[in-house]
Amino acid sequence: MTTHYCYTDSPFGKLLLVGDFQGLSLINFQDGIAPVLPEAHWRKDAAFFVNAIVQLKEYYAGKRQRFSLRLNPSGSEFQRQVLAIVARIPYGETASYADIARMVGKPKSVRAVGAANRTNPIPIMIPCHRVIGTNGKLTSFNGGIEMKQWMLDLEAGRLDADGVKRPPLLNDVVEQELADDLAAELV
């Protein structure tokens, strides 16, 4: 079976996409901590990944919350179980490593869950960036903590159309109180 690959841009540099007719098997951050080089037998073919590239661009623009591609992640049975749970974390939400360990039925396997998440071969589409520490803090991410924070901000609606973080919005209650105070002063 032929393995295809191509490069595409992301807000944080180049990504390498790798897959075959069984599905997308790798997204690698080329500017990250462990860039992957294409193997000699792989075939460069951007057309093979058009759907994936379009969906990634829609995601970065805040117009896509779910990916609809065939994925083919590698890994042990346990790693695939963890990734299947991570894949179900809803857009805009997070889960802790302990949460995932409980969901996989091994509540004491928090470190093993962390290792499986860290070796996720298809980040972004299997949203390992949505996994955080039990204390609510961000933990490592192969694309870098800045990209993890950017994606979480994107999903929380804290970025403007150019991907720049906007100032926090006042909640409706505070806005209403300010409006009521202003109205009282005008009377």
Which active-site residues does the annotation give?
Answer: 128
Contact 14, 24 (CB under 8 A): no
Distance set, CA 52 to CA 29, 46, 70, 80 (Å): 15, 10, 10, 21
Would you call 63 helix, strand, or coil by DSSP? coil
If you ran DSSP here, which 8-state letter would residue 67 be given?
Answer: -
- DSSP bridge partners of 19: 4, 24
- Token pair, residue 153, equals 């901000």
Would you call 157 helix, strand, or coil by DSSP? coil
